[in-house]
Amino acid sequence: MTQVPEPADPYRWLEDADAPRVRAWLAAQRRLLEGRPHRGDEPAWAALLDQVEREAPARMPTPPAEAGGSLFRHERGPDGDRLTVRHLDGTRHSLIEAADRHGDRIADWLPEPGGRFVVAQLHRDGGENGGLRLLPTGPDGRPGDVPDAAPYATLAFTGDALVYTAGTRTEHSLAARDLADGTTRRLTLPVSGPVRLTLHGGPGGFLLLRTRPQPSGPVRWWATRWTGRTVLDWQLLDLSQWRVTALDVNETVCFLAADRLLVLDLAEVARGSADRPTAAGSSAVDRGPGQITALRVLGPGPIPRLAVLRRVGTAHRLDLHRPGEAPDDATALHWPARLRLGAGPFDSHGRVGGAVWLLADDPRYGTWTRRLDGAGPIVLPERRAKLRTLTAAGLDGTPVPVTVCDPQPQHWNRPVPTLLTVYGGFGIALEPSWDPALEAWLRAGGRIAWVHARGGGEFGPAWAAAGRGAGKNATVDDFRAAAAMLVERGEASAGQIGAIAASNGALVIAATITREPGLLAAAVCVAPLTDLARYQVGGLGRLWTAEYGDPTDPRALRELLDYSPYHQVVVGTDYPAVLFATGAGDARVPPWHAWKLCAALGRANSGESPILLDHHDGGGHQGRPAAAGRELAARSLALLGAATGLRAPTGPTGQQP
């Protein structure tokens, strides 16, 4: 195969973040950022953001959970995160208070079934560090640290032990901490070599383990019962023909969701007499619509009630029924935005409970939660956004859904400044959700549009695969088609389209800027990949070959260069206003990706729109501490508003009905 000439890389010197020349360049970008002419709009946007956050106190980033008869809640307010517990006697106290004052956010948490402890992972300054905090819920316990836990560790409680994945983001081991004496030991794995692990646990010491060798290899599933006293005896499960998307257990059975509901008898698995699940009901009943994304077993026995959450295209459906029973359309909850289920419930005796909490996002009115116990239909909030779904046509004719939230429902067809966002990668669905910056845009009179481009998980594996490798060109073109459709329909006028996204979504926006510079009036790209010829250098890029293709392969390199934003910059082009945001603590995408494209666009731009960089020495891939995050949000809204013609109101604003 013909070799591809090494692509031009005039700003490779920016990859050395510690070099004096790079530090000088960053300082110059900071002066340019702070001296731009539209900065005067920032105070009004900052005031609006402050009002939005004050009027949405104690919103919940994750669903509540019940354990040991106590109720646990994770709340996020202007001062940071709190994790609280309410005991059976009605007393309530905080386990973690205002973590973000110290640059921390609660990334994940899980209560012990008896409610005696909560395990939480805190991420500092937007980073994705490992380690766990073990927090007793009673007055006499002492907090403990589990420093070797991996980032995004998966956990299980069994007997008097906490079992968890230890190590790094990409290579795991399995460890157990004794909750009584605090000692830690490594546990035997059923496979050798570098491996990534996902752990699931259930009552009675049941452990289910997913293994995947690194950097590549087949996924395998293993099961055992372990109380902390015996030797681990892993049993290999025959799940090779199924793609498991969700699972949960009680004391008797394990339910798994694939293309249908499956069930494992745990007693037979422990005896080694069963390694393959059976169907949990008839095919017509258990397949149901869409893809199951979450599953909760409610109650004991072999035929418990199940809470089944499905993604149906761009929306969600939640059902409560027993295996073999048909879901009831009359009682199902249909929701057009993000919807999540809390951790599996446990009653006051530490047994599997009969109710689970749900958490729903409303892009206009915030988050709301309900306890799902089957006692009656779920009562929806009186105020809720009326989202619309439009359809754009990709360049090849593929229908591309676009979810729209209007500033005022009675003005659906009025052209207003419209802010688009996208992800389109790694099989992850883009879900409309609440964010203070997006609500501020709506309150100011703008429109929000979520583009469900190929590469995401909205329509299952085939939709995700269509946006991988060379298909990433289709992802970019899907986004372009959505923006053009909104203008053609009169949702926005030419010059009123802005865009904001992070990570892979920011790559899609950056590629749109260089492929069709006149389409967007402004864009904010947070932590983007931009140099696709060198995406494997640094961060986690070496793990993304399946998503983007291998740049050492000449054919794949040509496909990458076809949309690589850094390599598509043309000198003398009038580019839109762009703000790049990066953090020094980003462990996934090196900040130099944004720096190189910023430098290239700044040199090539023939127009007057600013090309800006906001780099934070403490931020990471997951954002920034609260104050710095609000400053970036106000700065982003000011740039987008100035370019699209949207002004922040100067006085108090109320929610539109």
> Is the predicted pLDDT of residue 58 greater than 90, yes or no?
no
pLDDT at 37: 67
210 DSSP β-pair partners: 198, 221
Average pLDDT score over the chain: 91
Residue with tokens 């010491």: 205
pLDDT grade for 657, boundaries at 50, 70 and 90: very low
Selected residue with higher pLDDT from 649 and 453: 453
Residue 148 Rama label (left phi>0; alpha psi -120 to 50; beta): alpha
pLDDT value at 606 more than 60: yes
What average pLDDT does range 602-626 have in this prediction?
92
Higher pLDDT, 626 or 121: 121
Q: Is the pLDDT of residue 271 over 90?
A: no
For the beta carbon of residue 114, count every other beta carbon within 10 angstroms.
18
Mean pLDDT of 480-494: 97
What integer is the mean pLDDT of 142-162?
Answer: 93
Residues 6 or more apart from 271 whose CB is under 8 A from it? none
Residue 57's pLDDT band (cuts 50, 70, 90) = low
Exposure string for 378-415, b = 16+ CB within 10 A, e = fewer: eeeeeebbebeeeebebeeebebbbbbbbbeeeeeeeb
Distance CA 454, CA 427 (A): 9
pLDDT at 461 over 60: yes
Place of tokens 């935005």: 337
pLDDT tens-digit map of 497-542: 999 999 999 999 999 999 999 999 999 999 999 999 999 999 999 9
Rounded Cα gap, residues 243 and 256, in angstroms: 10
Q: Is the pLDDT of residue 150 over 60?
A: yes
CA proximity to 368, closest of 378, 355, 377, 358: 358
Which of 21-30, 246-255, 617-626 is predicted least confidently?
Answer: 617-626
Question: Nearest-CA neighbor of 591 among 581, 582, 601?
Answer: 582
Reference 246, options 288, 307, 305; nearest CA is: 307
**Residue 260: which pLDDT band, with cuts at 50, 70 and 90?**
confident
Mean pLDDT on 319-333: 86
Please name which of 424, 405, 526, 401 lies closest in space to residue 473, comparing C-alpha atoms. 424
Lowest mean pLDDT among 250-259, 398-407, 420-429, 554-563: 250-259
CA angle at 596 for the pair 592 and 471, rounded to the nearest 5°: 90
Instruction: Judge whether residue 177 has pLDDT over 60.
Output: yes
pLDDT value at position 309?
A: 96
On the question of pLDDT at 653 being above 70, the answer is no
> With contact defined as beta carbons under 8 Å apart, do 276 and 237 qualify?
yes
Mean pLDDT, residues 550-570: 97
Please report, as a single letter, which amino acid is at residue 114: G
Segments of 203-249 assigned E as strands: 206-213, 220-225, 235-237, 246-249
Q: How is residue 635 written in tokens?
A: 């700065």
Q: What's the CA gap between 297 and 201, in Å, rounded?
A: 13
Q: How much is the pLDDT for 128? A: 87
Residue 284 has pLDDT above 50, yes or no: no
pLDDT at 151 over 90: yes
Place of tokens 């400044």: 417
| Spatial contact of 66 and 373, defined as CB atoms under 8 Å apart | no
| Cα gap 521→500, rounded to integer Å | 12
- Per-residue pLDDT of 392-432, as tens digits, reads 999 999 999 999 999 976 556 789 999 999 999 999 999 99
C-alpha distances in angstroms, 108 versus 119, 154, 209, 251?
8, 10, 19, 25
pLDDT digits (tens, 9 = 90+) for 70-94: 999 999 887 788 999 999 888 999 9
Q: Is the pTM of this model over 0.85?
A: yes
Grade residue 189 by pLDDT with cuts at 50, 70 and 90: very high
Chain-centre distance for alpha carbon 255: 25
Confidence category of residue 216, pLDDT binned at 50, 70, 90: confident
pLDDT surpasses 90 at 142: no
Q: Is the pLDDT of residue 239 over 80?
A: yes
Residue 193 reports pLDDT greater than 50: yes
pLDDT for position 412:
65
Joined tokens for residue 64: 């509540």
What is the average per-residue pLDDT within 110-120? 94
Question: What span, in angstroms and rounded, lies between the C-alpha atoms of 487 and 507?
Answer: 22
Q: Which residue has the higher pLDDT, 632 or 326?
A: 632
* Under 8 Å between Cβ of 546 and 212: no
